[in-house]
Structure 1
Amino acid sequence: MYAVVMQEFGGPSVLRFDRHPDPLSRPGWVTVRLQASALNWHDVLVRRGLYRSPLPHILGADGAGVRTDTNEEVVILPSLFWGSREAAPGTDWEILGDHRAGTYAELVTVPEECVVPRPAGLSLTQAAALPLVGVTTYRALFTRGRLRAGESVLILGAGGGVATMATSFAAAHGAHVVVTSSDSAKIAAARELGAAAGVDHQHSEWIEHARSLTPGAQGFDLVLDSVGRWSESIQCLRSGGRCVVLGSSVADEAQLPLRPFYFGQFELIGTTMGSPTDMGGLLRFMENHDVSPPVVDRTFGLGEASRAHEQLESGSSFGKIVLLH
């Protein structure tokens, strides 16, 4: 098969389109002939060597294609070996593309529980863009964040895959959604997905501005923080509010003053990608709600993966970047 293979860690230029051995079949696993794969920031971290992946290596967590055994159109859940507890993944859990060959290839093999039918109504590129951010967002908002209709939610960032999907999901659920961005065009696009308003998080008084957009200016019921700005996120909450943390693209460490935290009765909740059960919940949610499909910003050919990574790292995209195979 052809695949995007990296022989070393580094910048986008290490991604080379080349021949690679087909994946081996094994009992309980399914081989998928991929037609599209979506990029995630996680892929950039793998490419840079953060996860110490084996070399040579094929990146990629998200994908859509056809099962080679049944010809069924499927999407891939990149959450492997979740385990038996829904509260958190087990010790064997890993993300597809970390230590096993991923989806930047013509073929990929995954456990059978990690393929689900392609949702009706989604194009090929939208289907490829769904699994990682979809199941991550569903778990963050509903399984962990316990978002209810009528609550207010602040989503840090407006343009990334998680942010765009979270905006759509929360609005479809009946929540009052506010986003943050330094780009007014991204805020405008988020409003098209259902956000009620947006604030410029580079402004010195953005927290006060955000709180003013909630009932009585008391603060948000839920903040979705995928960047790592914990101290600011907590300040945006109402008393008893919940902050769900699912990323650290801005900062790897955070400091919180403890007395305001416990007097505010706040909850700080960590989460990551979801389980097969969360994936089932995601698909049912999409069936039962008027949800905007995943936003796809640009597509590239599989052989253009290095250019696609340059685009992803530029931070200029709104939504997902997808490779067509």
Structure 2
Amino acid sequence: MKALRLDGIHQPLVLQQVPTPTPGPNQVLIQLKAAALNHRDVWIQRGQYAGLRFPCILGSDGAGVISELGEGVDEALLHQAVLINPGQHWGENPRAQSKTFTILGLPEQGTFAEYIAVPVSQVCPLPAHLSFEQAAVLPLGGATAYRAIFTRAKLQAGERVLITGIGGGVALLGMQMAIASGAEVWVTSSSPAKLARAQQLGARGGVNYKEEKWVDDLLNQAGGAFDVIVDSAAGAGFNTLLDVAAPGGRLVFYGATQGNIPEVVARKIFWKQLSVLGSTMGTEQDFADMVRLVEEKQLVPIIDEVFPLAEGENAMRRMDNGEQFGKLVLRIDV
């Protein structure tokens, strides 16, 4: 089969012929139709990820058709269109993943390939209203957004939500889910164009966080502070998020692209009775609940651009530049 292989740090993805995997017991072989990129793929390429192992096939998100069954798998699943849950071995504790938890694309073979073998427990039927490309957007970002907003922050209808850094896959999926669930959502970005796009998709408003008075402008727009704040940056801006949190608010972090928080003004947390929560990926139940929400609300994920598999390196560079609004997808033709 053809696959995009990464042979080392700072090396380009190269389309190569590699052995087609064989499904083991309780596994299925999926003929992939589409795969989506995540920042995780770029970080691995840069060498900024734990457990690096080369050569490797990147890609955590994928959708396709079951083409072969391993021993013990129901024959009725053959030729079914499916979505892949990239998280494996979460463990028995729903509050945090186990030490054996892994994500497709390292150390296991990823989805930037024509075929992939995965446990049958990690696939679910493709949402009927979505194309393969649209569905491939969901797995990693969708599970991450759902767990952060609903499992961790326990968002309720009518609450005021702030989602920072709109334009990335997790932020956009989170915005769509929160709006569909009856929340009032505001966003931030350094790009006026991304702010405008978000409002076209249902955000109540948004501000450019590089402007001097963005906090005042945001609070004026929203008519008050925020019950839930969803952020992937952390860094020096943490205390500003405390300023825009409502008493009893919940702040959820699923990343730290701006690095560690240099200093915390603790009194802002305890005096306002705030909850500061960490979140990453999701349980099997989070994934199932996310897919169910997408189906019930007929949500359609936002795609920035679709590339053929052979142009995967170009897609990686677009993601690295941070220009995208929505997910970058690879179309896989076998």
Q: Structure 2 length as normaliser, TM-score?
A: 0.92
The CA deviation string for residues 247-276 of structure 1, in whole angstroms up to 9 with x for no partner, is 112223442111221111111000011111
Paired residue type of 1:48: R
Aligned to 2:61: 62
The CA deviation string for residues 184-224 of structure 1, in whole angstroms up to 9 with x for no partner, is 11111101221000011101221222222334x2x100000
Match of 1:145 among 142, 145, 153: 153
Distance 2:249 2:298 in 1: 27
- Answer yes or no: is the 8 Å Cα contact 2:242–2:268 preserved in 1: no
Distance 2:93 2:222 in 1: 35
Match of 2:24 among 18, 21, 26: 26
| Aligned-pair CA distance for 1:232 | 2.1
| Aligned-pair CA distance for 1:163 | 1.4
- Tell me, which stretches of 5 or more residues in structure 2 are unaligned? 69-77
Compared CA separation, residues 82 and 209, structure 1 to 2 (3 A): same
- Answer yes or no: is the 8 Å Cα contact 1:156–1:225 preserved in 2: yes
| Aligned-pair CA distance for 1:86 | 1.3
| Aligned-pair CA distance for 1:44 | 0.7
Match of 2:87 among 79, 86, 91: 79
Paired residue type of 2:318: Q
Q: Structure 1 length as normaliser, TM-score?
A: 0.95
Distance 1:108 1:146 in 2: 34
1:299 and 2:306 aligned: yes
Compared CA separation, residues 262 and 188, structure 1 to 2 (3 A): same
SS in 2 for 1:57: coil
Between 1:224-233 and 1:150-159, the stretch displaced more is: 224-233
The CA deviation string for residues 7-36 of structure 1, in whole angstroms up to 9 with x for no partner, is 1111xx521110112224221222211111
Matches within 5 A, 1:108-187: 108-187=116-195
RMSD over aligned Cα atoms: 1.3
SS in 2 for 1:71: coil
Distance 2:296 2:13 in 1: 40
1:5 and 2:11 aligned: no
Matches within 5 A, 1:78-97: 78-97=86-105
Aligned to 1:255: 263
| Aligned-pair CA distance for 1:125 | 0.8
The CA deviation string for residues 125-150 of structure 1, in whole angstroms up to 9 with x for no partner, is 10111111111111111111100000
Paired residue type of 2:315: A
Aligned to 2:318: 311
Provide the identity percentage: 38
1:39 and 2:37 aligned: yes
SS in 1 for 2:61: coil
Q: Give the paired residue count.
A: 320
- Answer yes or no: is the 8 Å Cα contact 2:29–2:67 preserved in 1: yes
Aligned to 1:14: 12
Match of 2:229 among 219, 223, 230: 223
- Tell me, which stretches of 5 or more residues in structure 1 are unaligned? none
SS in 1 for 2:289: helix
